Amino acid sequence: MTQTRKHWDRPDFEVLPLGV
Amino acid sequence: MNATPVPAFERGVRLREEADGSAVLLVPEGVVRLNASAVAALRLLDGRRSIDDIVSALRESGYDAPEDHIAEDVRELFVRLRERRLVRW
Protein backbone atom coordinates (compact mmCIF):
# COMPACT_ATOMS: atom_id res chain seq x y z
CA MET A 1 0.00 0.00 0.00
CA THR A 2 1.41 3.41 -0.93
CA GLN A 3 1.60 5.93 1.90
CA THR A 4 0.56 9.44 0.89
CA ARG A 5 3.28 11.92 1.77
CA LYS A 6 2.15 15.26 3.18
CA HIS A 7 3.18 18.41 1.38
CA TRP A 8 5.75 20.60 3.13
CA ASP A 9 5.85 24.33 2.54
CA ARG A 10 8.26 26.70 4.22
CA PRO A 11 6.49 27.54 7.51
CA ASP A 12 5.16 31.06 7.45
CA PHE A 13 3.00 33.37 9.52
CA GLU A 14 1.42 36.79 9.25
CA VAL A 15 0.49 39.03 12.17
CA LEU A 16 -2.90 40.66 11.60
CA PRO A 17 -3.38 43.62 13.95
CA LEU A 18 -6.79 43.97 15.54
CA GLY A 19 -8.97 45.70 13.00
CA VAL A 20 -9.43 40.31 12.15
CA MET B 1 18.34 14.85 21.37
CA ASN B 2 17.68 17.94 23.43
CA ALA B 3 20.59 20.31 22.81
CA THR B 4 18.59 23.09 21.15
CA PRO B 5 16.42 25.57 23.05
CA VAL B 6 13.03 24.55 24.45
CA PRO B 7 10.56 27.10 23.10
CA ALA B 8 7.28 28.03 24.74
CA PHE B 9 4.53 30.45 23.82
CA GLU B 10 4.96 33.92 25.23
CA ARG B 11 2.49 35.02 27.87
CA GLY B 12 -0.87 35.82 26.29
CA VAL B 13 -0.20 33.77 23.15
CA ARG B 14 -2.19 30.64 22.43
CA LEU B 15 -2.92 28.35 19.52
CA ARG B 16 -6.53 28.17 18.44
CA GLU B 17 -7.38 25.14 16.33
CA GLU B 18 -10.19 25.40 13.82
CA ALA B 19 -12.66 22.70 12.81
CA ASP B 20 -11.12 22.47 9.34
CA GLY B 21 -7.68 21.53 10.70
CA SER B 22 -6.18 24.99 10.35
CA ALA B 23 -5.10 27.07 13.33
CA VAL B 24 -4.21 30.63 14.27
CA LEU B 25 -2.32 32.18 17.13
CA LEU B 26 -4.36 34.47 19.32
CA VAL B 27 -2.25 37.30 20.72
CA PRO B 28 -3.23 40.38 22.74
CA GLU B 29 -2.76 42.67 19.74
CA GLY B 30 -4.53 40.56 17.14
CA VAL B 31 -4.35 37.26 15.32
CA VAL B 32 -1.43 35.49 13.67
CA ARG B 33 -2.33 33.61 10.53
CA LEU B 34 -0.29 30.42 10.02
CA ASN B 35 0.28 28.19 7.03
CA ALA B 36 -0.05 24.42 7.36
CA SER B 37 3.63 23.74 8.05
CA ALA B 38 3.75 26.38 10.78
CA VAL B 39 0.64 24.85 12.36
CA ALA B 40 2.26 21.40 12.31
CA ALA B 41 5.33 22.75 14.12
CA LEU B 42 3.39 24.80 16.66
CA ARG B 43 1.10 21.90 17.56
CA LEU B 44 4.23 20.24 18.95
CA LEU B 45 5.15 23.25 21.09
CA ASP B 46 4.48 22.17 24.67
CA GLY B 47 7.25 23.81 26.68
CA ARG B 48 9.02 20.45 27.05
CA ARG B 49 10.15 19.59 23.53
CA SER B 50 13.30 21.22 22.22
CA ILE B 51 13.45 22.61 18.70
CA ASP B 52 15.40 19.50 17.68
CA ASP B 53 12.69 17.31 19.21
CA ILE B 54 10.08 19.14 17.13
CA VAL B 55 12.21 18.78 14.00
CA SER B 56 12.60 15.04 14.63
CA ALA B 57 8.86 14.57 15.09
CA LEU B 58 8.12 16.42 11.86
CA ARG B 59 10.77 14.46 9.94
CA GLU B 60 9.00 11.26 10.95
CA SER B 61 5.61 12.55 9.83
CA GLY B 62 6.03 11.67 6.17
CA TYR B 63 6.49 15.05 4.52
CA ASP B 64 7.56 15.32 0.89
CA ALA B 65 10.65 17.41 1.65
CA PRO B 66 14.27 16.50 2.41
CA GLU B 67 14.89 16.19 6.13
CA ASP B 68 17.52 18.92 6.13
CA HIS B 69 15.05 21.33 4.53
CA ILE B 70 12.50 20.63 7.25
CA ALA B 71 15.13 21.14 9.95
CA GLU B 72 16.34 24.44 8.49
CA ASP B 73 12.79 25.72 7.94
CA VAL B 74 11.63 24.88 11.46
CA ARG B 75 14.66 26.43 13.13
CA GLU B 76 14.18 29.58 11.08
CA LEU B 77 10.47 29.65 11.98
CA PHE B 78 11.19 29.61 15.70
CA VAL B 79 13.83 32.32 15.39
CA ARG B 80 11.33 34.51 13.52
CA LEU B 81 8.59 33.79 16.08
CA ARG B 82 10.97 34.72 18.87
CA GLU B 83 11.90 37.97 17.11
CA ARG B 84 8.18 38.82 17.04
CA ARG B 85 7.89 37.92 20.75
CA LEU B 86 5.45 35.11 20.05
CA VAL B 87 7.65 32.41 21.60
CA ARG B 88 10.45 32.51 24.15
CA TRP B 89 13.26 30.31 25.41
Contact A12 B35 (CB under 8 A): yes
CATH T-level assignment (fold) for domain B9-84: Arc Repressor Mutant, subunit A (1.10.10)
Please indicate if any CB of chain A lies within 8 Å of the CB of B73. Answer: yes
User: Where along chain B do its domains lie?
Assistant: 9-84
Cα B34 to chain centroid, rounded? 10
Chain A: closest CA distance from residue B86 (Å): 10
Contact A9 B36 (CB under 8 A): yes
| DSSP E strands, B19-59 | 23-27, 30-34
B60 by Cβ neighbours in 10 Å (0-12 / 13-18 / 19+) ranks as: exposed
Encode pLDDT of B32-87 as tens digits.
989 999 999 998 999 989 999 999 999 889 999 998 889 989 988 999 999 988 99
Percent of chain A with pLDDT over 70: 80
- Report chain A residues whose CB lies below 8 A from the CB of B40: 11
pLDDT confidence of A18, banded at 50, 70, 90?
confident
Contact B32 A16 (CB under 8 A): yes
Encode pLDDT of B3-21 as tens digits.
789 999 998 998 989 898 9
CB A6 within 8 A of CB B61: yes
Round to whole Å and give the CA distance between B31 and B27. Answer: 6
